[in-house]
A = this chain, B = another copy of it.
Amino acid sequence: MAILDPDRLFPVDPNVRSMARGLYQSVCDLPIISPHGHCDPAWFAQNKRFSNPAELFVVPDHYAFRMLVSQGIELDALGIPKADGQKTERDPRAIWRLLAENFYLFRGTPTAMWLEHSFEHVFGLDAPLIADNADAYYDHIDQKLGEEDFRPRAIFERFNIEVLATTESALDDLKWHKQIAQSDWTGRVVTTYRPDAVVDPEFEGFHANIEQFGAITGEDTTNWQGYLNAHRARRAFFKEHGATASDHGHPTARTADLDQSEAAALYQKVISGTFSANEADLFRGQMITEMARMSLDDGLTLQLHPGSRRNHSQDVLATYGRDKGFDIPGRTDYVDALQPLLNAVGFEPGLTIIMFTLDETTYGRELAPLAGVYPALKLGPPWWFFDSYEGIKRFREATTETCGFYNTVGFNDDTRAFCSIPARHDVARRADCSYLAQLVATGRLRENEAYQVAYDLTYGLAKKAYAL
């Protein structure tokens, strides 16, 4: 018995559904290109078994645990580790039961579909998770996790992943990537250059990070040129470990293009520790433009992920640390914010800047008009809360008419939850095929074109945009 409807996410009209199904069948077995995500490279370097179902599906997945928290279940009870290392719930089976008892909360959410996709397709389960089968589910998954076939590398291969990008801090030694490269395993796991810790003056430990940045590169990061050189060195190091992109998670989309002397003076301010919030934001904005200029030399694709208001709950931040489901999207301006960057490098051949948003109002009003005219600018797929059927539908409906398909870059799963990778790509492929079938059925696209576009959205555009 299947848990999921095999025709899920296809349009309801029988003819359009049939067209969507045909399109989907042409792309559902294509390899997965995962150019942006947050899997742990240690999994593939060490290839140890995943410890238990709760550690696989609940503890690392903020989508899953935030919903449980929203109904009054405490983070402690879900095994979320405390920032100071203090113990929380240790019995994974107890955590799993909480998930099972409260699984009805996820009705209608992508999280339910991702989890059920994993239960059915990864673990071969055939009934929905409920309180009554919680233990049987747990035992089944736990037993599978003990099998050789369920080690990270085996799953990676079964998922048909052609390439998986992880994300590492600029200060990371990339030892896991090194270990993967030196192993006899042929899976392609590449890193991504994420320099927030040495670019954002408001990042915790920024000053120490800058010192470490100098130490590991041998550059004098007490001055602007040395600091830029340190970036160049680290970007080269990341490229050696497969990186084809950098990624930047800024509160705003602000960019700047100061004179180098002004930029150098601003750098002195931010490393002195005495700067205003506005100067911190300006510095981050200046660094986007600097990163773009380095991309002209080294070819890394530049990704900007702005708009998250992080750590909304001070108590949760203090007790449990970052990335605990309390990052909330906020209004984001792009038109004025991107002008310095686009005026500086927007026409540079070979440069690819991928812009993400958590503010859907900007799809049609700002981002599609910008991506529909500047050669360097491309639109990233729907991100975070919007990586969902309705989110993808709104994205396509709001952007395609203005910037077409070819100024977008395919799908990103952006996940820390390994098993959700094929589930998320499957949702994206279904949602895109449904959208394309709807265009064909309403005379806005020819059927043969729809097949080409489906291939490009699934495979071609991501490979091209990330040079993979």
User: Interface of A with B (CB < 8 Å)?
Assistant: 4-13, 15-16, 66-67, 69-72, 104-110, 113, 128, 309, 312-315, 325-326, 328-331, 333, 335-336, 339, 342-343, 346-347, 349, 358-361, 364-366, 368-375, 377, 385-386, 388-391, 397-398, 400-407, 438-439, 441-446, 449, 452-453
Copies in the complex: 3
Q: Give the Cβ gap from A48 to chain B, nearest Cβ, in Å.
A: 31
Q: Give the Cβ gap from A356 to chain B, nearest Cβ, in Å.
A: 14
Of the A-B pairs whose beta carbons lie under 8 Å apart in the complex, a sample of 23, sorted by A's number, is: A6-B443, A12-B15, A12-B442, A69-B375, A70-B372, A70-B373, A70-B377, A71-B375, A72-B375, A108-B445, A109-B401, A110-B401, A309-B335, A312-B335, A312-B339, A313-B346, A328-B335, A329-B369, A330-B365, A358-B365, A360-B364, A360-B365, A390-B398
Contacts of A441 in B (CB 8 A): 12
Please name 17 further chain A to chain B contacts, defined as beta carbons within 8 Å, in addition to the given A107-B449, A110-B401, sorted by A numbering.
A8-B442, A12-B438, A12-B442, A66-B373, A70-B371, A70-B372, A105-B406, A108-B405, A109-B402, A109-B404, A313-B374, A326-B373, A329-B335, A359-B365, A368-B385, A385-B402, A388-B401
- Find out whether the CB atom of B331 lies under 8 angstroms from the CB atom of A365: yes
- Find out whether the CB atom of A389 lies under 8 angstroms from the CB atom of B401: yes
Q: Complex Cα distance A443/B168, Å?
A: 36
Q: Nearest residue in B to A371 (C-beta to C-beta)?
A: B70
- Find out whether the CB atom of A10 lies under 8 angstroms from the CB atom of B372: no
Q: Complex Cα distance A108/B405, Å?
A: 8
Q: Give the Cβ gap from A277 to chain B, nearest Cβ, in Å.
A: 13
Q: Complex Cα distance A70/B375, Å?
A: 4
Q: Nearest residue in B to A339 (C-beta to C-beta)?
A: B312
Q: Complex Cα distance A65/B331, Å?
A: 31
Q: Give the Cβ gap from A302 to chain B, nearest Cβ, in Å.
A: 17
Q: Give the Cβ gap from A338 to chain B, nearest Cβ, in Å.
A: 9
- Find out whether the CB atom of A108 lies under 8 angstroms from the CB atom of B386: no
- Find out whether the CB atom of B373 lies under 8 angstroms from the CB atom of A69: yes
Q: Nearest residue in B to A343 (C-beta to C-beta)?
A: B314
- Find out whether the CB atom of B370 lies under 8 angstroms from the CB atom of A328: yes
Q: Give the Cβ gap from A98 to chain B, nearest Cβ, in Å.
A: 14
- Find out whether the CB atom of B349 lies under 8 angstroms from the CB atom of A72: yes
- Find out whether the CB atom of B12 lies under 8 angstroms from the CB atom of A16: yes
- Find out whether the CB atom of B70 lies under 8 angstroms from the CB atom of A400: no
- Find out whether the CB atom of A9 lies under 8 angstroms from the CB atom of B443: yes
Contacts of A70 in B (CB 8 A): 371-375, 377, 403, 407
List of 9 A-B pairs having minimum Cβ-Cβ separation, nearest first: A8-B443, A5-B443, A388-B401, A66-B373, A108-B400, A72-B375, A12-B13, A329-B365, A12-B441
Contacts of A375 in B (CB 8 A): 69-72
Q: Complex Cα distance A401/B63, Å?
A: 11
Q: Complex Cα distance A42/B445, Å?
A: 36
The residue in A70, A360, A441, A452 that gathers the most chain B C-beta atoms within 10 A of its C-beta is A70
Q: Complex Cα distance A401/B387, Å?
A: 9
Q: Complex Cα distance A7/B329, Å?
A: 38
Q: Give the Cβ gap from A309 to chain B, nearest Cβ, in Å.
A: 5
Contacts of A389 in B (CB 8 A): 401, 442, 444
Q: Give the Cβ gap from A377 to chain B, nearest Cβ, in Å.
A: 8
- Find out whether the CB atom of A342 lies under 8 angstroms from the CB atom of B406: no
Q: Nearest residue in B to A375 (C-beta to C-beta)?
A: B72
- Find out whether the CB atom of B330 lies under 8 angstroms from the CB atom of A445: no
Contacts of A5 in B (CB 8 A): 442-443
Q: Known: A110-B401, A364-B385. Is A444-B105 also a contact (CB below 8 A)? A: no
- Find out whether the CB atom of B331 lies under 8 angstroms from the CB atom of A67: no
- Find out whether the CB atom of A391 lies under 8 angstroms from the CB atom of B385: no
Q: Complex Cα distance A404/B64, Å?
A: 12
Q: Complex Cα distance A347/B106, Å?
A: 20
Q: Which of B330, B336, B391 contacts A366 (CB 8 A)?
A: B330
